Structure 1
Amino acid sequence: MIKPIVTSLIMLRLPSEEATPDDAQVGQDLIDTLEAHAHECVGMAANMIGVRKRIIVVRDGTKTRLMYNPDIIKGTGEYRAQEACLSLDGVRPAARWRRIKVSYLDEEFHRHVRSFTGDVAQAIQHEVDHCNGVII
Structure 2
Amino acid sequence: MQRPIMTTVSFLRRPSRAATLDDIHIAQDLVDTLDANRERCVGMAANMIGESVCIIAVVDEDLGGRITTMLNPQITTQDGAYETQEGCLSLQGERSTLRYRRIEVSWQDIRGRARHAAFTGGTAEAIQHEVDHTLGIII
TM-score band (shorter)? over 0.9
Q: Report the TM-score, using the length of structure 1 for normalisation.
A: 0.99
- From 106, 129, 133, the equivalent of 1:130 is 133
Question: For the residues of structure 1 that align with 2:83 and 2:56, how far apart are their CA atoms?
Answer: 22
1:45 match? 45
Q: Does 1:18 align with 2:21?
A: no
Structure 1 moving runs of 4+ over 4 Å: none
For structure 1, the residue ranges without an aligned partner over 5 or more in a row are: none
> Match of 1:39, SS?
helix
Q: In the alignment, residue 47 of structure 2 is paired with which amino acid?
A: N
> Match of 2:38, SS?
coil
- From 74, 78, 81, the equivalent of 2:81 is 78
Give CA deviations for 1:42-67 in whole Å, capped at 9, x if unaligned.
Answer: 00000000100000000002210000
Alignment of 1:103-114 (within 5 A): 103-114=106-117
For structure 2, the residue ranges without an aligned partner over 5 or more in a row are: none
Question: For the residues of structure 2 that align with 1:86 and 1:11, how far apart are their CA atoms?
Answer: 14
Q: Does 1:63 align with 2:44?
A: no
> Match of 1:32, SS?
helix
- From 87, 94, 98, the equivalent of 2:97 is 94
Aligned residues: CA RMSD: 0.5
Shift of 1:124: 0.0
Shift of 1:101: 0.6
Shift of 1:109: 1.0
Question: For the residues of structure 1 that align with 2:17 and 2:101, how far apart are their CA atoms?
Answer: 27
Identity of aligned residues (%): 51
> Match of 1:97, SS?
strand
Aligned length, in residue pairs: 136
Shift of 1:126: 0.1
> Match of 2:14, SS?
coil
